[in-house]
Amino acid sequence: MIISHDLLEKTCKNMIETILFCLDHATKGTIYRIGPMPELRSVRITSGVRNEITGSIHWGLPETSDYNPPGKTWEQYRDRPGHVLEAMGWCVERQMSWTADNPYEDLRSVRKQLIGEVEDCHHMEPVLVKKADLYGEGASRLEYPIAWNGAPIWKDTEYVVVAVIKIHFRPNTIRRGDRSTKVIKKLSRMLGTEMFSNHLRETLFQAREELTNQRFQSCNALAHELRNTLVKLSFIFSAINAEISYLREQWEAELRKSVAGLEDKAAILGRLNMLILGRMHELNGRADMAQLSSELMSDQEELAQLPLLPEQSEQWLQHKILWKWERLLSQSDVWRQEEKEVHGLLERLKRALWIGTDPSLAERMLHIPEDIRVLWPKLAYTEFSPEKIPLLDDILKLLEHPQLTIPHKRQTQKILSSLKALAETIPDVEKRANKILFSLKNGNTADEGEVPPGDGGMEAAAGNPR
């Protein structure tokens, strides 16, 4: 992946700062770059440590570490017999996170294995990018890293690992799969998108350098402003929507608790997966049907876990689930006996996706004040966008209501307050970027007047990232 060191370091610092900003119990963040293939050298890019007194973040690589530049190659940190197990090897090879919520039982702590010294609580998350996006048609010709048993890793996966995020926490403040690790996982996806975007921009920049060096300083100023804006746009609004989705989860949980007989989409999807699993052994070697069944179970499990808006859930159902069931039922007799039940479950699932927006159900929750019953679902089922910044005031007002009782209420309030402050800076940055774009387009200086309305500006040049 082609990214200049300065840009990569800046991107990583923005991500670490955001995570430490959102998670009060996080104390330190480090991001490691992974690559290139097949060497997969792991190099620490930067570390940020929070000052517990002032709240400021100190940057740099002060510690002695094997992962400081030039880092460690895949041959050095991968799993192999007779060698200490490293969490880095786990994250890179399996493309899965590693949570050390109990340092005394951390099987991949190097210090614990070598000298019996217990480390702190931490979570490591791989940053994934799709092979097809990164390598295009060249993905089929990749030389893959080799595991200790001689088998290539990643050959049958859709992704490659381009970085690993490590976040340290105060003792006994995290557990596997808790909300903190989910926030880090969500932000890791955004970092992957940002790194890929930076890769594309750097590739384009190199091509331009080969053709011309004209207007070099103006192009640098343009790239700088665009990068700043795109970094914010790429994860701030997604992080806000992640917090809104948490309100949505809590609303639906309150509905199911208060209104008897409501069906949970997770329960329906779980039953559909049980029906698939119960008959897969009868496929008699039909590899195509077995693969389709596995993909369908994976898609159903993911839909059960994602707190999507009803419209998004319906699209997921239409594009990833319904046609697969139709093919299973039409091209195989294995599930003939369950066909009627499957159709019934799918119809019930369609209804279950919308229960949170039913005003008649909300009216039955008499133990909740009317103003909360009206405002909560209205806000929880809204897709946030830059034009809806005032919506955050309504959400924060809801969270301040003394009779709204949801888990992590204060933490959610703090996170949204911080994200709101960041989101409100974007229009000013965008205005300055538009000014530079206009001056570059017309050949005058950035101080000569304002950008005329509708003259293109950043949205035209950057493809309207919003």
3-state secondary structure 314-380: HHHHHHHHHHHHHHHHHHCCCCCCCHHHHHHHHHHHHHHCCHHHCHHHHHCCCCCCHHHHHHHHHHH
pLDDT of residue 296: 94
Rg (CA), the chain: 25
- Residue 10 host element (H or E): helix 5-22
Whether 100 and 119 have beta carbons less than 8 Å apart is answered as yes
pTM greater than 0.75? no
Residue-wise over 306-334: b if at least 16 C-beta within 10 A, else e? ebbbbeebbebbeebbeebbeebbeebeb
d(CA 154, CA 34): 14
Whether 160 and 37 have beta carbons less than 8 Å apart is answered as yes
Whether 70 and 41 have beta carbons less than 8 Å apart is answered as yes
Within 8 A by CB and 6+ apart from 260, the residues are none
Whether 280 and 296 have beta carbons less than 8 Å apart is answered as no
Q: Please provide residue 343's backbone torsions phi and psi, each rounded to the nearest 5 degrees.
A: -60, -40
pLDDT of residue 442: 60
d(CA 37, CA 53): 42
pLDDT of residue 154: 92
pLDDT in tens, the chain (466 residues): 566 678 788 888 989 999 998 899 999 999 999 988 899 999 998 999 999 888 899 998 767 788 999 999 999 999 999 899 999 999 999 999 999 999 999 999 998 888 888 889 999 999 998 888 888 888 888 899 999 999 999 999 999 999 999 999 999 999 999 999 999 998 888 887 787 677 666 666 665 666 555 555 665 666 666 666 666 566 788 888 889 899 998 998 888 888 888 888 899 999 999 999 998 888 888 899 999 999 999 999 999 988 889 999 999 999 999 999 999 999 988 889 999 999 999 999 999 999 888 888 888 888 889 899 889 999 999 988 878 888 889 999 999 998 888 898 899 889 888 888 888 877 777 777 667 666 665 655 545 445 554 444 444 343 333 3
